[in-house]
Structure 1
Amino acid sequence: MTRIVVVDLHGQFTHLEHRALRDMGVDTEIIDADTPAEEVDADGVVLSGGPDMDRVGNAPDYLAGDAPVLGICLGMQLVAVESGGEVGPGDYGGYADVDVEIVDEDDPLIGSLAPETRVWASHADEVKELPEGFTHTATSDVCGIEAMSNVEAGLYGVQWHPEVAHTERGEEVFENFVAICEER
């Protein structure tokens, strides 16, 4: 059975990410951000959303492992910063119901959502510059980089929250991530 851990970066929706995976039959648990990466045996890692970079604990260490990583909101920003990208304040700020345009239909995480999907996203901070080796996979009117992927490294990120009911086809994002984990 596929095992995916959700690293709790203190976001309000962490339990929904866990539940989405559990409801798909995935062996999953929420782990504290201070848990050392070397103590965790998993086929995949979800870095949850959260309030700020000051409370990410050992989460950056999970990026160096063999398991694919899906960063959601703050988790995506953490992947970007740790990989050499840039994060800054969003022009919109706060939460918004947004139409996201999928710009890479071949992306294994979100390409199946093309050409457009409605999502619930937070744009207080956002990725401003992609890290080297990453592909820009989605955009919107309020955020230039809504999603990114480095397929070779197994690192993926979405600025939006696929775990909430307001996001169309959010379950599909998790299904695609599980498939990525199973293939690796």
Structure 2
Amino acid sequence: MTTIAVVDNHGQFTHLEQRALRDLGVDAELIDNDTDPAEVDADGVVLSGGPDMDRIGRSADYLERDVPVLGICLGMQLIAEELGGEVGGGDYGGYADVNVEIVDEDDPLTGSLHPETRVWASHADEVTTLPEGFELTARSDVCDVEAMSDTDRDLYGVQWHPEVAHTEEGEQIFENFLEICKRNGA
């Protein structure tokens, strides 16, 4: 059975990320973000959303593991900032329904989604510049970087919350991430 570690960055929906993965038959373990990555045996890692970068604990250390990583909202911003990208305040803060355009139909995480899909996202902060090695995979009229992927390193991020009911194809994101983890050797 595939095991996914959900790193808790104190987001209000983190428990729903774990639940969504469990509903797909995955052994999903919710772990505190101060946990040493060396103590975690998982086939993949989800870096959850959260309130701010000051409370990310050791989350960045999980990027050095040789397993796929999916960053959700703050988790994506953390990936970008740690790897040389830039994060800034969005023009549109707070949570809202957003129409996202998938711009890379070959991307293993987002490519199978409809060309336009409705998501639930916060844009108080967002990735403004992609890190080296990442490709833009989704955008919207609210945010230029709604999703990004580095398929060589199996690092992925979405600005939106696939774990909430307001996101139309959220389960598909988790299914695709599981396939990435299995391909990686799970």
Please name the residue that 1:40 is paired with: 40
CA contact (8 A) 1:48 1:75 kept: yes
Q: Contact 1:136 / 1:145 at 8 angstroms: preserved in 2?
A: yes
Give the letter aligned to residue 67 of structure 1. V
- Equivalents in 1 of 2:88, 2:154: separation in Å? 24
User: Secondary structure at 1:143's aligned position in 2?
Assistant: coil
Instruction: Work out the CA distance in 1 between the residues paired with 2:57 and 2:92.
Output: 28
Please give the residue correspondences for 1:95-134 in structure 2 after superposition, counting only pairs within 5 Å: 95-134=95-134
- The SS at the match of 2:62 is helix
* Offset at residue 96 of structure 1 (A): 1.1
Number of the residue aligned with 1:160: 160
Q: Percent identity?
A: 76
Deviation (angstroms), 1:6? 0.2
Distance (Å, rounded) in 2 between the aligned partners of 1:122 and 1:150: 22
Is the CA contact 1:46–1:69 (under 8 Å) kept in the aligned structure 2? yes
3-state SS, counterpart of residue 114 of structure 1: coil
Unpaired runs of 5+ residues, structure 1, are none
Deviations 1:22-62 (A, max 9, x none): 01000111000000011101000000000000010110000
Is this contact kept in 2: 1:105–1:114, CA < 8 A? no
TM-score by length of structure 2 reads: 0.98
- Is 1:173 the counterpart of 2:177? The answer is no
Match of 1:76 in 2: 76
Q: CA deviation at 1:114?
A: 3.4
Who is 2:67 aligned against?
A: 67
Q: Verify the 8 A CA contact 1:137 1:149 in the aligned structure 2.
A: yes
Residue pairs, 1:10-29, within 5 angstroms = 10-29=10-29
TM-fit CA distance, 1:180: 0.2
In 2, the alpha carbon distance for the partners of 1:84 and 1:149 equals: 14
Tell me the SS of whatever aligns to 1:126: strand
**What are the superposed Cα offsets for residues 76-105 of structure 1, whole Å, 9 maximum, x if unpaired?**
000000110000000111111000000000
Determine whether 1:58 maps to 2:30. Answer: no
How far 1:178 sits from its partner (Å)?
0.3
AA aligned opposite 1:44: G
Q: Quick one: which amino acid aligns to residue 158 of structure 2?
A: V
- Partner secondary structure for residue 91 of structure 2: coil
Structure 2 CA distance for aligned equivalents of residues 161 and 95 of structure 1? 10
State the 4+ residue runs in structure 1 displaced beyond 2 angstroms: none
**8 Å contact 1:6–1:17 — kept in the other structure?**
yes
Q: Which residue is equivalent to 2:86?
A: 86
